[in-house]
A and B are shown apart, each in its own frame.
Chain A
């Protein structure tokens, strides 16, 4: 009798253990399949990318919601740094910087397009309590709008300010109240198309590279080769250890 009871409890324990195990192959190493390159020395701040992004991705038009935006960095002769981004650069910068600051005070000024860095080590994914934001096997960080509870931890965790909570004024009702962010136009790149912002960029300041380019144009290989030869490639806030996948060319170290 005792023996049977013992065997039964062992069986019970075994079943419970199998149930607890959620079949998570945790922190599976992924191989990034895409790379984003921003050449700041080409950006004219026309803001077409911000518009195209909002339309392509149903981002609300109010000036506080952006998946991508442009910042204007201006250094004064005395070393002071000013950063502004009226309406995120939507449709360009109507007010010239010389109308805001004295022209002969300005040392230099340029535009810096910003978007999600699709970090290799995304802090936003680490803090999500429910597993609604995650990194795909091809290396893009996405948000599951059906599962997100809108707790805003990820918004706090992102060092780049790339996330916002989708407001009820937005066109996609199922997304209301959930975290939203740039996906590098995941619905386009998976079809072999470039992200919307890259598509409309008139100067080639934004470039997108398919790293798995076997079935893609070999033009991407040449592009990658060219980018790799550039001196002074940077990522934003490298000290955070997030390993961003957006490479910037032509920015100073105080661009953050």
Chain B
């Protein structure tokens, strides 16, 4: 009688120890600190590298373009929107400034580049300035418009 219950007790404690051991292995560190998740992953995600060269950096080296842009009709468009994220270039100007997706280089011509925003469309808000092909079919838009100050600027 006495022997049996001691065995049960030993088994019981062994079970508890195994539970703790498994839990230590299976539940990752910081899990459950704040909620039902691994708290460390919040900082892991928050710490990811950004890829945008912020505007003030462009300003440091491209004062002329910045000055034109800041008074023109395109002043609410960030440099990144027309030139690409360009962090590597802003950190090291030796790196290319021609982004393959967002810059003029992503388009066949300046016409396509400008029309990617200014092309006529019934889906666009009416107040947005849209130009049809009649405005200019053959010439480089940049011949008459400065991209940084399209209305007032010298092109």
- Chain A residues close to B by CB (< 8 Å): 1, 5, 8-9, 12, 15-16, 19, 22-26, 28, 41-48, 51-52, 55-56, 72, 74, 91-93, 96-98, 103, 106, 109-111, 131-137, 142, 144-147, 183, 185-188, 190-191, 193, 196, 199-204
Q: Which of B42-50, B63-71, B137-145 forms contacts with chain A?
A: B42-50
Complex contact A5–B116 (CB within 8 A):
no
Question: B34 contacts the other chain (Cβ, under 8 Å)?
Answer: yes
* Minimum CB–CB distance for B138 against chain A, Å: 21
Cα(A52)–Cα(B106), bound, Å: 13
Complex contact B81–A98 (CB within 8 A):
no
Chain B residue at minimal CB-CB distance from A103: B122
Most buried by A among B19, B106, B123, B125: B123
Complex contact B123–A110 (CB within 8 A):
yes
- Given contacts A56-B52, A142-B45, 13 further A-B pairs with CB under 8 A are A1-B2, A9-B9, A23-B32, A91-B101, A93-B123, A134-B36, A146-B28, A186-B45, A186-B48, A187-B49, A199-B80, A200-B102, A201-B81
Interface flags, B88-131, vs A, CB<8A=1, else 0: 00000000000001100010000000001101111111001000
Complex contact A55–B101 (CB within 8 A):
yes
Contact residues in A for B12 (Cβ distance below 8 Å):
9, 12
Question: B59 contacts the other chain (Cβ, under 8 Å)?
Answer: no
18 contacts between A and B (CB under 8 A): A12-B16, A19-B19, A19-B23, A22-B31, A24-B35, A25-B35, A47-B116, A52-B52, A52-B80, A55-B101, A91-B101, A98-B122, A109-B123, A146-B41, A187-B50, A193-B54, A199-B78, A202-B77
Chain A residue at minimal CB-CB distance from B84: A55
* Minimum CB–CB distance for B101 against chain A, Å: 5
Cα(A23)–Cα(B27), bound, Å: 12
Partner of B31, one of A28, A131, A137: A131
Complex contact A131–B128 (CB within 8 A):
no
Contact residues in B for A191 (Cβ distance below 8 Å):
46, 50
Question: B51 contacts the other chain (Cβ, under 8 Å)?
Answer: yes
Cα(A187)–Cα(B12), bound, Å: 47
Partner of B45, one of A23, A97, A103, A183: A183
Cα(A1)–Cα(B142), bound, Å: 98
* Minimum CB–CB distance for B20 against chain A, Å: 6
* Minimum CB–CB distance for B22 against chain A, Å: 10
- With known contacts A44-B128, A196-B85, A22–B123 Cβ distance under 8 A: no
- With known contacts A26-B36, A187-B47, A202-B77, A142–B42 Cβ distance under 8 A: yes
Question: B60 contacts the other chain (Cβ, under 8 Å)?
Answer: no
Partner of B122, one of A41, A109, A186: A109
- With known contacts A56-B85, A111-B123, A200-B81, A91–B106 Cβ distance under 8 A: yes
Complex contact B117–A131 (CB within 8 A):
no
Contact residues in A for B35 (Cβ distance below 8 Å):
24-26, 28, 134-135
Complex contact A186–B46 (CB within 8 A):
yes
Contact residues in B for A135 (Cβ distance below 8 Å):
35
Cα(A209)–Cα(B23), bound, Å: 41
Contact residues in A for B32 (Cβ distance below 8 Å):
22-24
Complex contact B16–A15 (CB within 8 A):
yes
